[in-house]
Amino acid sequence: MMKLTIDKFQKLQAIAAIETDEIEKASRLVQVLLDKSPEEINEMHVKDFTMLCDKLKSLFDITIDAATMAKPKDIIKANGKTYRVNYELKKPFNTGRYIEVLTFSKGDPITNMHNILASICVPTKWSWTKFKYIDAPYDTIRHEDYADDLKQADFKHGYHAMVFFYLFLMHSTGDSSLYLEEKLTEMMVQDRKIIALKSIFPILSGGFTTQNK
């Protein structure tokens, strides 16, 4: 299974939305997933590149399916640091952070996955006396630093946070059926984006075989 971070997934979505030919998309997708330069991709033989796209397609499908089906974890690692996802929304989660998540979710939740996660996460540190991770003080001024760390977290953690907060919003809005319908529609849009990304590689690898190096 490939290592798919939130940052990489966001880049993949951005590439998928670009108005360009499929060959260029294929090249950019492989660059992101394998941390390769454009020059390294351009030097590859067409047959090798096509085989690589097929392999990445299979790995991507497996990774996305595993991420969406996995159970959420409270303790996650990102950029060499450890955070606790505050799924119970207890202190230090407050009105200010609630508004933060609302703001981030109004745009494109996938683009803001790391920001949403940073708003419901708490930095932690290891306690040798308690032999477990304990919460460290949450500094609101450092939200951007937390978000930058969490870009390097596994995509599944961002996905779970996004789904959790949407469900939380739906349960906390009372009888506002119109609001609930809007939120459900937004969540379906995000799922469709994920499904659309899964369909990119077979199209690209098929199209690339028609090209000559």
- CA gap 137, 122 in Å, rounded: 8
Pair of tokens at residue 155: 């995509």
Look-up of token digits 């996460």: 121
85's enclosing H/E stretch is strand 81-85
Domain range list for the chain? 6-70+195-208, 75-187
Give CA 44 to chain center in angstroms: 29
The rounded distance, in Å, linking the Cα atoms of 164 and 7 is: 20
Query: Which amino acid type is present at position 127?
Result: S
* Whole-number Å distance between alpha carbons of 122 and 134: 10
pLDDT in tens, the chain (213 residues): 568 899 998 998 888 778 877 778 888 888 988 898 989 988 888 888 888 888 887 787 778 788 778 888 899 999 999 999 988 777 767 778 778 887 887 767 788 889 989 988 999 999 999 999 999 999 989 999 999 999 999 998 988 887 877 777 666 655 444 444 455 455 555 555 555 555 554 444 444 443 444
From the CB of residue 65, how many other CB atoms can be counted at a distance below 10 Å?
Answer: 12
Chain-centre distance for alpha carbon 23: 24
Query: Residue 70, Cβ neighbours under 10 Å: how many?
Result: 13
